[in-house]
Amino acid sequence: MQNDLCLQCGKLIPNYYVVQTSKPAQRKHQKKSFSISFTPATKKTADFTYEDAAEPKKQTNFKPLAYVVLAVLLLALAGGLGKYYVHLQNKQQYLRNFIVALIGIKSATDRCLKNSAKISSDWKDTGQAIAPRLSENELDHLESVKVAIDEAMDKLAETPEEFTESRQRLTKLYRIYLKLKSLNESSLASQEELSATSAKLEQEFIVAARQLKGTFPEPLQDELTASIGKYRNLRFLVARPDQLLPVLHMFHMMLRC
């Protein structure tokens, strides 16, 4: 019988088996319940950990791009202003060159008219068959003046569109001047022919000067007006058209004296 007894609890062996059979079932149920409650907790912890570990979205920084665009715009603006400034400078320089060329032509024309008047007067007084000639110094002076005028005219080669017509009228004045210069250097058949040719070219110059004055755009007119105080022989170009001929005639009479 002792073999039928449990040495630990003193119960019969069959009862021990009953107890032991029920206990594992109870422990098994408890383990299952523990396992069920453990699984959801593990998932929640995992989900929570993933959200915390997720990297935040990076925001695009547009400031560098804005700086680049601004720099490009500033460079374009500076380039445009630079070109406009250069354009104004070139325009102003053209106006000054135009006035210089005009002054040269007018001064040289007045000189040639004075020379013609002197030659005609000397020829008439001497009554000689051949016209008196200018001295070598006077002829050299005429040539040096022409060189200076040609240099001034060359600077007007590139003419802005608004000054095109004025430039053409100035060229006409220049050609009349060349004819007067040639008259000073040549010998005509008679004193009468010299006087008539000189008077004819003077009249052509007056008409051409009047036409030139009528083509002046405002910037050129302003430059001319500003130069009158320094170059008095240009006053005839600011006179009214009906006053132009008397003014030039008076000036020419002064040269004859």
Is 60 part of any domain?
no
75 within a domain of the structure (yes/no): no
Kindly state whether residues 40 and 118 are assigned to the same domain: no
Same domain, 42 and 120: no
Q: What is the mean pLDDT of the chain?
A: 77
Tell me, yes or no, whether 100 and 161 share the same domain.
Answer: yes
Same domain (yes/no): 33, 145: no
Task: List, for residues 222-244, the tens digit of each pLDDT value.
Answer: 998 888 888 888 887 875 544 44
The pLDDT of residue 7: 65
Report the pLDDT value the prediction gives residue 86, as an integer from 0 to 100: 52
pLDDT in tens, 70-82: 777 777 666 665 5
Counting Cα atoms < 13 Å in the Cβ hemisphere of 85 gives 6
| 221 and 159 within one domain | yes
Split into its structural domains, the chain has a count of 2
Are both 46 and 95 inside the same structural domain? no
Considering the domain architecture, whether residues 116 and 227 belong to the same structural domain is answered as yes
- One domain for residues 121 and 206: yes
- Note whether residue 63 is domain-resident: no
- Residue 28 domain boundaries: 2-51
Which stretch of 7-21, 110-124, 190-204 has the lowest confidence by average pLDDT?
Answer: 7-21
